[in-house]
Each structure stands twice: as structure tokens, then as C-alpha cells.
Amino acid sequence: MFFVTPEPHTLDLEELERMRFRVDRFLLMPKYEEWMRREAFIRQAYSSTMIENPSISEEERAKAEVELSVDRPDVANYARALEFVDFMSRDQDVVLDELLIRQMHWFLMRGMSDHHYLPGQYRKETNWIEDNGIKVYQPPHQLDITPLMRELVEALRDDGLHPILKAGVAHVHMVAIHPFVGGNGRTARLLETFVLQSSGWGFRNLLALDSYYQRSRNEYIGALVSTLGSKFPDRYDATSWLDFFCMSVVVQARLLESRLTEWQMMVDNIHRELRPLGLLDRQIDGLVYAARKGEIARRDYIEVTGVSHLTATRDLASMVDKGYLIAEGMGRNRKYRTTSAVLARPVAHEPVGAQQRLP
């Protein structure tokens, strides 16, 4: 079983406590927070899938974040599993057990054409971890999975470990056991998310920690391998992995703070400049959305404001006439982009293709 040396993480945990305090108390209108949460949700679903599927491009993920939609089946499966995790983590009466973990895996792998993956069931044969076609890790024998998973669940119910460290331990030990035929890494990241959110460390479900792993994939894999070695260990020190994990949370929490601050500056600026000009609140919401995304379509405006098709058409035409939007395209493909009259600051986005390190 694993053991942890918590002292080296003291400074990271203290900083994270301060950041959690600030993020949890950040004033943000519910509808704007829901937009940001949806962005983070899609970013996390794509990023986690991209770790094992490098054929997904950064451009595809960025486009999905703008459109707030998921089209790929493997990403859609992860999104459904993440929705399940979000729902279950809000219920304080839910007890973390093997069934919950197996349900995460079922959502993740259901509908796969290859029934060999056994959604929600432990593997019945040996397997291993490969990286770029090379075997890097040998998990335990399949007959040892049930007792090892039971041992993991019991350890995660222990309140003696800080929730951040507990989430990191859940991640690394799920990878160590590798209880399923496929989807073990993604299930480990789902379990980590559940532990964070159910213990009050979800940072309003806006953290998207998987995006850091995807940006730093080699370092992420290296941290797991250096902790576990090449074969399942009966006992290992999880501290090396937790060094990387705590740094990941700190980096993403800092980025989240920056994003929230710049988002609020943008919103305040738009409201301050445009409200005195007689725009309706729903029109300002549409402009906020367009400034955030770079464009808005009529269907987006309807979803954001809840108005009818006719009212949306009139509102958008009015904002074009007043010089706040520029219309591009025709018919259903028409998009509206903000003009310089909408004074908005750029909002912080995820770094692309590069690691973000602590100073």
C-alpha cells in the first residue's frame, strides 16, 4: 500500500487554502458562472481524452470550447461520466465505494463497439500500461484487484489525510491497480475530481485540472512512472507524485483566479459603458457572451436570454444598427461579432502546447 510524507506539501496546501478562500468568495452572477463552468467542463472532457488520444487537435478543443459543444464519441462519454461525478459529488450523503468507481467507468466506456472493455467491470485478465507502444508498467494480477480496490476505498474514507493529498492518492493508486481493461487513467482522473469536489475543494467546479496534465503530458506520465516503477509495488511512497499533483493544482488555481478577475473586469466594463446608453439587460448579456466568445449566433442569443426567435432577431438587428455588433454570413450561418464600441478586456485562456511552471 502507499504511504505519504505530508511535510513537503505544507506550503502548497497553505497557498491553496488562501486561493480556495478567494475563489469561493468571488462575486459572479450565476448565469455568467454557468457559462464559465460549461467552458471548464468541456475543457476537462477534451483534455482528459487527449492524454490518451493525441489525434485530437488543440484547434478542435478550442472550437468546442467556443461552441460549448461536444461532438466526438470518446469525449462525449467522458463528458457523461463527468456529469455523473458532478451530480454525485454534490450529495453529501453519497459514500465513496467500489460501486461508485465502477459506475464512473461504466459511463466512460458504455457504447464502445469493442465489448472487450467490459464497462463497469473489473478486468478478468492481465494487462499493462504502454506509452508510445512501449510497456512501462505491469499492474497486479486480476485476482488481486477486488481486495486492492477495497483497500483503496477504505483508505480514501480516512479523514486523517488532507483532501488535496487524498485526491492525489486516489489518482495514483487507481493507476497503480489498473482495475479495468481500458479507461483506467480517465477513471483515475474522474475519481480525483470526485474526491476534490465532494470534500469542498472543487474551486466551484472551474479548475479543469486535466488540462494541466494534457499540456504537461510527459511530466505527468513521468511523475506516475517515477512513483510506481515498472511493476505494481506492495508498498510505495506517493510523495513524489504528490509533489507534481500539488503543483498542478496550484498552477490551475492561479490561472482560475486570473481568469475570474479578468472576466469580472470585462463584464463590469461592458455594463458601465453600455447601460447608460439604454440597452436592455438581455442585450448586454448577449454582448458579454459575444465579447467572451468572439461571436454570437441567434441560437446562442436565444439560449442566453430565453427570448423568442422573433425577439432575438430584432434585438440583434438593433445592436447592429447601433454599431455594437457586425453581422457576418447569411441565414442560419449568420454570426455577430462585437465592434470596438464594446469596450472589453481580453480574458485569460489556457496556455496551449506549453507547460506553466511555478516561479
HSE-CB of 281 using CA atoms within 13 angstroms: 4
322 CB-near residues (< 8 Å, 6+ apart):
277, 341
CA distance 6 to 162: 9
What pLDDT, on a 0 to 100 scale, did the predictor assign at position 222?
Answer: 92
More confident residue, 240 or 8: 240
C-alpha cell at 16: 491553496
pLDDT at 302 over 90: yes
User: How high is the pLDDT of residue 314?
Assistant: 96
Q: What is the pLDDT of residues 25-69, one digit of tens each?
A: 998 888 888 889 999 999 999 999 999 998 999 999 988 987 788
Question: What is the architecture of the domain spanning 278-338?
Answer: Orthogonal Bundle (1.10)
Task: Please tell me the predicted confidence (pLDDT) of residue 354.
Answer: 47
pLDDT for 243 equals 92
- For residues 98 and 77, the answer to whether their CB atoms sit within 8 Å is no
Q: Does 344 have pLDDT greater than 50? A: no
Percent of the chain with pLDDT over 70: 91
Q: Is the pLDDT of residue 358 over 50?
A: no
pLDDT over threshold 80, residue 207: yes
pLDDT reported for residue 32: 85
Residue with cell 485562456: 349
Q: Are 205 and 85 in contact (CB under 8 A)?
A: no
- Which has more pLDDT, 127 or 245? 245
* pLDDT at position 351 over 70: no
Count of CB atoms within 10 A of residue 8's CB? 13
Residue 357's pLDDT is 45
Q: Binning pLDDT at 50, 70 and 90, where does residue 113 land?
A: low
CB-based contacts of 246: which residues, under 8 Å, 6+ apart?
Answer: 9, 12, 13, 16, 164, 165, 168
Give the pLDDT score at 345.
43
Residue type, 98: E
Give ranges for CATH 1.10.10.10 in the chain. Answer: 278-338
Confidence of residue 3 (pLDDT cuts 50, 70, 90): low
- Among the residue ranges 3-7, 72-76, 107-111, 311-315, the one predicted with the least confidence is 3-7
CA dihedral angle for residue 100, residue 247, residue 208, residue 150, rounded to 10 degrees: -10
What is the percent of the chain where pLDDT is above 90? 64
The partner residues of 296 in beta bridges, in order of sequence, read 336
| Residue 5 confidence (pLDDT) above 50 | yes
For residue 359, name the pLDDT band (cuts at 50, 70, 90).
Answer: very low
For 122-156, the pLDDT digits (tens) are: 999 988 887 778 888 999 999 999 999 999 999 99
pLDDT above 70 for 1: no
Averaged pLDDT for residues 300-328: 94
Predicted confidence (pLDDT) at residue 111 exceeds the cutoff of 90: no
Residue range(s) in the chain whose domain bears CATH number 1.10.3290.10? 2-257
Residues 6+ apart with CB under 8 A from 329: 335
Mean pLDDT of 208-220: 95
The yes or no reply on domain 2-257 and CATH 3.40.50.2300 is no
Please, what is the average pLDDT of the chain? 89
Alpha helices (runs of H) in the chain, residue ranges in sequence order: 10-24, 30-52, 58-67, 73-89, 98-109, 145-156, 163-177, 184-198, 210-215, 217-228, 239-274, 281-293, 298-305, 309-321
Give the pLDDT score at 84: 98
Cβ pair 81, 190 in contact under 8 A:
yes
Q: Lowest-pLDDT range, 13-17, 41-45, 99-103?
A: 13-17
Q: Quick: pLDDT tens for 168-201.
A: 999 999 999 999 999 999 999 999 999 999 999 9
Mean of pLDDT values over 257-286: 89
> SS3 sequence, 212-230?
HHHHCHHHHHHHHHHHHCC
* pTM for this entry: 0.87
